[in-house]
Amino acid sequence: MASLGESDVSHATLRDLGYDVPALALNRLVTQTAEPTTVGTARRWSMLGASTVAQASESVMIHGPLFLIPALIRREGLTLAEAGAVAAAPTFGVMLTLVAWGLLTDRRGERLVMLLGLVLTTAAGLAAVLVDGLVPLTLALFLGGGAAASASAASGRVVVGWFPPHRRGLAMGIRQMATPTGVGVAAITMAVIASEHGIQAAMLVPTVATALSALVVAAVVIDPPRPDATALSITNPYRADSYLARIHGVSVLLVVPQFVVWTFALVWLVQDRGWSPAAAGSLVALAQVAGALGRIAAGQLSDVVRSRMRPLRWVAIAAGISLALLGAAAGLDWAIAVPLVVLATVLTVADNGLAFTAVAERAGPHWSGRALGVQNTAQFLTAALVPPLGGLAITEAGYAATFAAAALFPLVAVALVPVREERELS
């Protein structure tokens, strides 16, 4: 399916999509182009669905190995920190390739990047199913994560590119529900399969998911319109002010409690609370579904209040409070600790869509691929360190103290959110 060319963009199309383009450049574009190529509402929402499916399937590849930790400990004899390091291999792969995928998206378009990434992710997943031994498995997970980073770089741009500003918060919230949904699918499937049939069998889940997603993307997605770079003055958005850098910093701080909960909630339920892997996986999956709905709600709220940063600050405050309460309840062995881990799961993922949308909007169509690559690289670098370092912290200080310590990060982030520097949404 052919993508929209850069010459297929009119004044109305650019304004509807929220691009802040100088009038002179727009006039040059209009006089040089034919009638705009547009898509209907149904097609726009179908591309949102395809982007969400692609992100969800690749999230299973990236985050699913976290739910192999109990099996790695029991079947391979690893310590919690060692198992966490193996499970973090896809995250390290993501971290090293995100900017490259973003640059390729800026230059070649979203559809190509999504399809190429899904095919390569499927190949890496198949390798993880077939290999024998921890080292080859870890390498396959690393390569799978590197390939899966393509969805983070490109699928969000499809949403930002096809939806106008007053619908972007909701649309991006729906797209961002893909990650907790993918984590939920992994929790309810991979932990049980690994426990009963082995780690290689569990890796069939992300392999099949990404293969099916590639078919969906091929059938539905087309590149969104972009203004012609030769007709515009494209400047580096990082040189204008510290807005993007501060959002990156906030996101790094908020990803720590998110991954502490994602990585160790299931293990905590199994080891400290005596739950079975199936029961723990089911609760984690339900929590992730709630987290996905929370991302939609946060996105819709940002559309209503016409701000991404104010809701982001509210989420940071709520996440810090929930982690502090979880740490206290877990330390006192109160039953309320279980619903609190669900609440913490919901709140610690709600910020992602807000930050992602704000970065794409400020960076613009010719820089957003790289800016989102930097955003996600910083997050995944931090996320990759959480499983092994969190495992060490839990070994030395226990789950309660680790949960409580994670509460400090969102509270620090509150002061960094650039509310005053945000421009009014059009």
Q: At 310, list the tokens.
A: 């104010």
Q: Which amino acid is at 354?
A: L
* CA dihedral angle for residue 134, residue 140, residue 141, residue 146, rounded to 10 degrees: 150
Q: What is the pLDDT of residue 414?
A: 94
Domain range 42-224+238-414, CATH class: mainly alpha
Q: What is the pLDDT of residue 236?
A: 81
Q: Give the DSSP H or E segment for 146.
A: helix 134-162
Q: What is the pLDDT of residue 9?
A: 41
DSSP type of residue 16: H
Q: At 283, list the tokens.
A: 């609760």
Q: What is the pLDDT of residue 385?
A: 85
Task: State how far the Cα of 84 lies from the Cα of 392, in Å rounded to an integer.
Answer: 9
Q: What is the pLDDT of residue 388?
A: 83
The whole-angstrom distance between residue 192's C-alpha and the CA centroid of its chain comes to 24
Q: What is the pLDDT of residue 127?
A: 95
Q: In this prediction, what percent of the chain has a pLDDT beyond 70?
A: 88
CA-based angle 286:73:281, to the nearest 5? 10
CA-based angle 280:281:283, to the nearest 5? 65
Q: What is the pLDDT of residue 207?
A: 95
Those residues of the chain that have pLDDT short of 70 are: 1-38, 226-234, 365, 425-426
Q: What is the pLDDT of residue 228?
A: 58
- Write down the domain spans for the chain: 42-224+238-414
